[in-house]
Amino acid sequence: MMLQYLVTSDLRLITMLPNSLVEKSELTTVVQIKNPISERIYYLSWKDDRYLSRAAQKFRETLIEHYTRLSVSNVEN
């Protein structure tokens, strides 16, 4: 797997990965950060005058809906 390659390749790498990508391995040490204070900003871009496949349109709609729901739930909490 890519993570194992990176860890064993002598790159001296520290990375932040979602739990779903972290394997339980003797090669890695996982440190959980409680109550992290961080923000990640995502950008989507496309050209209005260019063809956008149905898959790309659905991907765009799904991301917008997901992050809209997240921002609304964060405001309510």
pLDDT score of 70:
79
pLDDT digits 0-9 by tens, 24-71: 666 667 777 788 777 777 788 888 888 989 999 999 999 889 888 877
Query: Which amino acid would we find at residue 49?
Result: D
| Residue 35 contacts residue 15 (beta carbons within 8 Å) | no
Give me the domain span that covers residue 17. Answer: 2-76
The token pair that represents 56 in the structure block: 């790309």
Measured CA to CA, the distance from residue 13 to residue 53 in angstroms comes to 37
- Higher pLDDT residue, 57 or 72? 57
pLDDT score of 67:
84
CA 26 to chain centre: 24
Measured CA to CA, the distance from residue 35 to residue 44 in angstroms comes to 28
The token pair that represents 71 in the structure block: 């921002």
Q: How many distinct structural domains can be found in the chain?
A: 1
